[in-house]
Amino acid sequence: MLALNAISKRYGDVSVVEPLDLVIDEGEFFCILGSSGCGKTTLLRMIAGFDRPTAGRIMLDGVDITDVPPNHRDVNTVFQNYALFPHYRVYDNVAYGLKVRKTPEAEIRDRVAAALELVGLSGFERRMPAQLSGGQQQRVALARALINRPRLLLLDEPLSALDRKTGEQMRQELADLQARSGITFVFVTHNQAEALSMASRVAVMNRGVFEQCSTPFELYQRPQTRFVGDFVGSMNFFQGVVTEVSPDRLGVEVLGQSRIERRGASDLAPGDTVVFGLRPEQLRVSLLAPKDYENGFFGQIERTLFLGEATQLSVRLKSGERIDVKVPNYLMLEDKVMGLEQNEDVWVVWSKGSGVVLHA
Partner 1 sequence: MSAQLGRRNDLGLGQGLALKLLTAFCMLLLLAPLVVLVVYAFNDSRQVTVWQGFSLKWFAVTLQDREIWFAFRNSLIIGGLNAVLATILGTMAALAIARHRFAGRQGFLNLLHYPVLLPEIIIGIALLVLFVLLDVPRGFGTVVAGHVTFSFPLVALLVLARVGAMSRTLEEASLDLGASRWQTYRFVILPALAPAIVSGVLFCFTLSLDDFVITLFTASPDVTTLPLKVYSMVKFGLTPVINVISVLLILFTLTVLLAIHWLQKEGPHQRWGIRLAGVMVAALAVLMATSIVAERRQETLVIANWADYIDPELLREFESSTGVRVIMTHFSSDEEMLAKVSFGRPGIDLAMATPVSMEILRKSGLIVPFDGERIPNLRYIDEDFRHLGSDPTGTYSVPYAYGLNGILYNTRMVEGPITSWWAMWDERYAGRLIMLNDMMEAFWLAHHLLGYRLQDQRLDHLDEAYALLKKQRPLLRKYESDLVNDMLLSHEAVMAQAWNGQAHKLSSEHPEYRFVVPEEGASLFIDSLVLLASAPNPDAAHRFIDFLLAPERSSQNMEAILYPMPNATARALLPPEIRDDTTIFPAGVDGKRLNIMSDPGDFRRQIQGRWERLLAE
Partner 2 sequence: MPEHRQALLGGRAEISILTLPPFVWLLVFFLVPVLILAALSFSPAGMTVEVFRTPSLEHYRQSLDPFYLGILLRSIGYAASATLITLLIAFPAAYFIASSPPRRQVWLLFLVFLPLWTNLLVRLYSFKIILGDNGLVNQLLQALSIVGEPLSLIYTPLAVVVGFVYWNLPYMIPPIYAALERMNPSLLEASMDLGASRAQTFRHVIVPASLPGVTTGVILCFVPTLGSFIVPDILGGPESMMVGNVIAAQFGQGLNWPFGSALATLLTLLVTVGVTLYIRYGEPGSTAAREARA
Of the pair 69, 320, the CB lying nearest partner 1 is at: 69
Pick the closer one to partner 2 by CB: 79 or 227: 79
As measured in angstroms, the least distance from the Cβ of 127 to partner 2 is 11
DSSP three-state, residue 227: helix
Nearer to partner 2, 11 or 306 (CB): 11
Task: Give the integer Cα–Cα distance in Å for 111 and 306.
Answer: 51
- Amino acid at the residue 298: F
Residue pair 272/241 in contact (Cβ under 8 Å)? The answer is yes
Nearest 5°: CA angle at 20, between 15 and 24?
135
Q: Is 28 in the site for partner 1 (CB under 8 A)?
A: no
**Residue 99 interacting with partner 1 (CB under 8 A):** no
Is 134 a residue that touches partner 2 (CB under 8 A)? no
Residue 29 binding partner 2, by CB under 8 A: no
In the bound complex, what is the minimum distance in angstroms from residue 77's beta carbon to partner 2?
A: 5
Q: Which amino acid is at 311?
A: T
Report helix, strand or coil for 241. Answer: strand
Rule CB under 8 A: say whether 81 interacts with partner 1. Answer: yes
Cβ–Cβ < 8 Å for 177, 118: yes
257 binds, among partner 2, partner 1, none (CB under 5 to 8 A by kind): none
CA dist., res. 346 & res. 314, Å (int) = 11
Task: Please state the length of the chain.
Answer: 360
- Which own/partner pairs from 158-161 qualify as long-range (CB within 8 Å, at least 24 positions apart)? 158/78, 158/79, 158/80, 158/82, 158/187, 159/189, 159/191, 159/194, 160/80, 160/189, 160/190, 160/191, 161/80, 161/81, 161/82, 161/134
Closest distance to partner 1 from the beta carbon of 51 (Å)? 4
Applying CB under 8 A, what is the total number of residues that bind partner 2? Answer: 28
Task: Please report whether residue 194 would count as binding partner 1 according to CB under 8 A.
Answer: no
Taking the complex as a whole, the smallest distance from the CB of residue 145 to partner 2 amounts, in Å, to 7
Helix H or strand E encompassing 118: helix 105-118
Residue among 333, 338, 347 at smallest CA distance from 291: 347
Query: Cβ closer to partner 2: 140 or 274?
Result: 140
Our finding on whether 80 is near partner 1 (CB under 8 A) is yes
User: Which residue number, 85 or 217, has a Cβ lying nearer to partner 2?
Assistant: 85
Q: Is 133 in the site for partner 2 (CB under 8 A)?
A: no
User: Which of the ranges 44-52, 186-194, 279-287, 347-355 carries the binding residues for partner 1, by CB under 8 A?
Assistant: 44-52
Among positions 68, 83, 175, 241, the unique one binding partner 2 when judged by CB under 8 A = 83
Pick from 5, 66, 80, 304: which binds partner 2 (CB under 8 A)? 80
Q: Which 46-75 residues touch partner 2, going by CB under 8 A?
A: 48-50, 69-73, 75
Candidate list 23, 50, 64, 85; residue touching partner 1; CB under 8 A: 50
Does residue 239 belong to the site contacting partner 1 (CB under 8 A)? Answer: no
First to last CA, the chain: 36
CB of residue 104 to partner 2, shortest distance in Å: 16
- Separation of alpha carbons 280 and 237, rounded Å: 11
Q: Which residues touch 359 (CB under 8 Å, ≥6 apart)?
A: 225, 226, 265, 268, 272, 274, 275
- Contacts to partner 2 by CB under 8 A: 45, 48-50, 69-73, 75-77, 79-81, 83, 85, 87, 96-97, 100-101, 128, 130-131, 144-145, 148
- Contacts to partner 1 by CB under 8 A: 45, 50-52, 69-70, 79-81
